[in-house]
Chain A
């Protein structure tokens, strides 16, 4: 197999010489993919690029990085040109400065920058597969820039507004990290920094569908990133936006009756998400299909073959222009 190479491209050209990026290059994943760092405004997206065919953007979730797609990337790359970035501030991407109203970490802000990124790579329309926090960005992109996104797969995620609307004791017990991470800076990030490995491992263990379901090399990569205080800060800010400005954006869409224009494919890991998500998505979108898989929250890592087998026909069946 071809060895992955590091390439720096405009919008901004960045040397890939930092220790973190060098470590990331040693990653056993994404064989044959390029590694790039691309500046978009004040952000720098660290990403993998590979495959051929129509463009497909893959967005990971919390508490992870683009590596979350490692087990499906090869299958998807046979049919699609993959763009697999770390979300702003996550992994080895550089996030924006904190804003007091959390607007710089709103899903709207991130979605707009990712659209710019895709355009800079020559992809003016594309499809999106996204998990967890990434799926919140994907949803916002679909709502804000409907002409860009031809199809959207949401892995184990419903819109933020629906989460908070349904928040009750069971939610707060299960998703306790939502209110915890949304506490004012620097409280949660400083607490987590006391024992990042312990914190990360407890979340991964709780959310996976079976013991040691995740590749140990991927977990090592998540740990490396999670030990970076700037990553912890960006993650908390993502949740602070998720408790405030993101909810306002979702509510404005709901109040205005705006709907998802493209086909939506909802995957659910039933060992983590007990109830079907289709009903919630049908309140936002007309064209919804769904699939339930026997796994926990990390569908693309726990059931990569089934996940890729499901995603391929959905994305191939889109109305590619």
Chain B
């Protein structure tokens, strides 16, 4: 995966030790993965992007092989704010005070929070296959609760989801991926192994649940405070989604994002949830058209 121009490092920031795959040359481009994955999900597009950018693909805290911070009752260590702060520290350490960011799924929620908390750090952003967390919770109905059952299952207390998932994590992981990708798609074997390797660690499973617990509590507080303060996405925002997925069915995606961002563009690809893996060419084309490359 990724090829020889990428190196895999453990990078210690003041807040967290992160496993980071990075390579290429050009302006900095931060790629943030989602659930239940790791940075390996970028394998199909990162090499091509590295011809134009210094591409930086970390595992989010708790995910993949990054550090698993201790959880707290208020879920603050797994808030998107904490994850966004990791990313600012990581990019600072690599010498980039500002950068472009592309996020998928949970990573897109981190990107959204990163823009709101650190508006001067982010030059351009892309979010893949999400509507804002606040919007999704505030418009919850039968269709959302059914398709996104895991938002409500993973936040159950007393380690219940951890226990059930941890009994056979490979099966849970494969089943979850297969249920949300486009019809007939098969994940790259090496990438899948990286996801499975992470989920073999009970601390990863717990950290992922904590990510969702934070999303249903402290992240919403942050999002409401941002809305009350008039904080919006001011940088150009590319919104991509898969036309075989729930986000496409449920939301007028660009209209929803326009309530949260000033400068929104985007559209759908013919995929399920995993755009960068299911349609790497289409994803690359959209990203390269949107991101300013070196002259």
Contacts and interface: CB of A to CB of B under 8 A. Distances in A.
Q: Do A and B bind each other?
A: yes
Contacts of A192: 164
Contacts of A195: 163-164, 167
B171 interface: yes
B45 to A, nearest CB: 30
Nearest to A163: B142
B160 A198 contact: yes
11 contacts: A167-B140, A167-B141, A169-B137, A169-B138, A171-B140, A173-B155, A182-B149, A191-B164, A195-B163, A199-B160, A243-B146
A173 B216 contact: yes
Contacts of B155: 173, 176
Contacts of A182: 146, 149
Contact of B158 (A178, A183, A202): A202
A198 B146 contact: no
B8 to A, nearest CB: 33
Nearest to A202: B160
Contacts of B185: none
A172 interface: yes
B149 A179 contact: yes
B96 interface: no
B167 A172 contact: no
Given A178-B145, A195-B163, 17 more contacts: A168-B140, A172-B145, A176-B152, A179-B148, A180-B149, A182-B149, A183-B149, A184-B179, A190-B168, A191-B165, A192-B164, A194-B166, A194-B167, A195-B164, A199-B164, A202-B156, A202-B160
Interface string B146-185: 1011011101101010011111100110010001000000
The 9 closest A-B pairs by CB, nearest first: A194-B167, A176-B152, A172-B145, A179-B149, A169-B140, A164-B142, A191-B164, A179-B145, A179-B146
A199 B161 CA distance: 9
Interface residues of A, number: 24
A167 B163 contact: no
B94 to A, nearest CB: 38
Interface residues of B, number: 28
Contacts of B151: 172
B168 to A, nearest CB: 7
A195 B159 CA distance: 11
A251 to B, nearest CB: 12
Contacts of B140: 167-169, 171-172
A320 interface: no
Contact of B141 (A168, A183, A190): A168
A176 B167 contact: no
B167 A167 contact: no
Contacts of A194: 163-164, 166-168
Chain B CB within 10 A, most for which of A167, A169, A171? A169
A239 to B, nearest CB: 10
Interface string B209-226: 000000010000000000
A302 B163 CA distance: 29
Nearest to A194: B167
A243 B158 contact: no
A164 B140 CA distance: 11
Contacts of B167: 191, 194-195
A267 B289 CA distance: 61
Interface string A155-189: 00000000010011101110010111011100100
Contacts of A178: 145
A312 B102 CA distance: 65
